[in-house]
Amino acid sequence: MADVSKFIVNLEPMSRQNAISKLVSTNQQSQKHGLVLSERNALQIIDARNEALITTGRIELGFEIINKIIRMFCQSLYINQANYADTICELLAAFYYMKNETREQIGDDDLICIMRDSFDNRCFGSIELLIGRELEQLVAEIRSGRYYGRHDDSEEV
């Protein structure tokens, strides 16, 4: 059987510059909330995303999740310019971790909505609480079959 893992990995460098440009272009929306990413921030986020994918053993073709998380979280009152890039990096790691832990049972958009809701309304901007309490509770609900969806009117990400 063919080993195709190299085939996938080899493609990543080709899209890197393209991804930086795309990330920087999210400034158009985020600067309305006083948040801006430099090229260096963009690179930091891309590296964090790649590391999170490796750590969680996942593959993503394209950079949609970064953009979705930025679009959703740049509106949060708990994020400021000083912690913007670092928070996005931590949210990305939490997102891919949750994709595995929830056994693919929650779609990307729903998961990002849940994360944003918890981050703002129950954790008041604490990423530690989000990961250590809210998301673990969500995992427990899913594994015990008690999860029926938290967002009836999911916000479009």
Residues in contact with another protein by CB under 8 A are 1-2, 4-5, 7-8, 10-11, 14, 53, 57-62, 64-65, 96, 99-100, 104, 107-109
Alpha-carbon distance 22 to 70, whole Å? 11
Nearer to another protein, 4 or 82 (CB): 4
To the nearest whole angstrom, how small is the minimum distance from the Cβ of residue 13 to another protein?
A: 12
CB of 97 to another protein, least distance (A): 12
Amino acid letter, 79: I
Closest CB 147 distance from another protein, rounded Å? 15
Residues 6+ apart with CB under 8 A from 152: none
Complex with another protein: residue 2 or 77, whichever CB lies closer: 2
Tell the residue number behind the tokens 């493609």, with chain if given. 11
Q: Which is nearer to another protein, 58 or 122 (CB)?
A: 58
Gap between the Cα atoms of 130 and 137, Å rounded: 10
Which residue reads 């996005």 in tokens?
88
